[in-house]
Amino acid sequence: MNLIELYVQEVIRRLPESQQEDIGLELRSTIEDMLPEGYEEEDVKTVLSELGHPAKLASGYLDKPMHLIGPRFFDVYVSLLKLIIPLAMIISFCVVTFVGILSYSGEGEIFPVIFGMIGEGVWNSLSAGVQTFFWITVTFAMVERYDSSNNTNPITSKWKEWTPDDLKDVPYIPKRKAIGKIELLGSLIWTVIWVAGYFNANKLLGIYEKGEEGLTLVTPLFNQSQLISFWALVIVVMMVEVGLVAYKWRLGHWTMKLVIANAIVHAVSLAVFILVFHNLAVFNPAFFHYFEEMFGLTYQLNMIFRLAVLIFLISSIADIYQGIKKARS
């Protein structure tokens, strides 16, 4: 990707989405008018240096000035907020939810307990976000106050003056290939929930009956002692899934290498799923006997197992296919 396109991308990404296309076209036209015929890379660098830091140019297109911290540190400040706050909120939510599920004793009505866990996770997540915002803001306010230079040009994340050469370190990420923070958040939360649920399955999954204290689990679906015997494999799956989320976060967009990594994680997950649930002893026979007595339904665990594997396989193939489409877009 040439320097002009990278520069335009760095400017418009700081603007409202509704203005990005028009301003991008206008800026490209302006740069091309400033360049001589038969220009070379050094001519482009000269023009971009005259235009200045992308953040400073972007601020000129905004209806309101960037004065929260100040133009010199504002861009780095916002970049760190976008990076650290979601990370702190995700970690806080996952830790609280994981501990809540593992510490659930099985007493009390299930749905209020689950909603309580989610509520506590959201509250702690918001608290972590607010505290992170506060301390980052305080830190940058102090840095700006003790900055002895009178230069107002924005600095880069490397804490130096911006030059057009910095554009060479900027990856060009089309929207169709980009990996959103919501996607990463959902993946991480799902991993936390299923791992915590696996180690506490006999208290969460099964047949509930309404009693004096509300819905109570009377017949668990799984034999917990059998599930626990596969704990090492479950930890392996958890680690590769978290590693995949970290890899996605680092790349920020879909590539064929990421597609391969995603396929490997799905293959490992499917293999462990088959190894664990192929052992039919992990299921509690009383769970299925209940349906036989209540509804006259017969069951075949082997058939249920094959159906579950088929669903797992189809969902994995669909996810891998979507990754390939995005990587090739």
pLDDT digits (tens, 9 = 90+) for 32-71: 888 888 888 888 888 888 888 888 788 777 755 555 566 6
State the average pLDDT over residues 98-105.
66
33 inside domain: no
Query: Measured between alpha carbons, how far is 222 from 284 in angstroms, rounded to an integer?
Result: 5
Domain count, the chain: 1
Contacts of 35 (CB under 8 A, 6+ apart): 43, 44, 47
* pLDDT of the residue at 299: 61
Beta strands in the chain (DSSP E): 206-211, 214-220
The closest alpha carbon to 275, from 238, 246, 240, 237, belongs to 237
295 inside domain: yes
288 inside domain: yes
215 inside domain: yes
The pLDDT tens digits of the residues spanning 121-159 come to 778 888 888 898 888 888 887 877 676 666 666 666 666
159 inside domain: no
150 inside domain: no
The pLDDT tens digits of the residues spanning 194-234 come to 887 888 777 777 777 776 666 677 777 788 888 888 888 88
Q: What is the pTM of this model?
A: 0.60
* pLDDT of the residue at 44: 84
* pLDDT of the residue at 261: 92
Stretch (H or E) spanning 304? helix 301-328
Place of tokens 């990996």: 179
110 neighbors 208 (Cβ within 8 angstroms): yes
Residues of the domain holding 277: 173-329
Query: Measured between alpha carbons, how far is 127 from 262 in angstroms, rounded to an integer?
Result: 32
Label residue 318 by pLDDT band (50, 70, 90).
very high
164 inside domain: no
242 inside domain: yes
Give the chain's radius of gyration (CA, Å): 27
Question: Within the chain, how many helices (H) and strands (E) appear?
Answer: 12, 2
Query: Measured between alpha carbons, how far is 156 from 168 in angstroms, rounded to an integer?
Result: 13
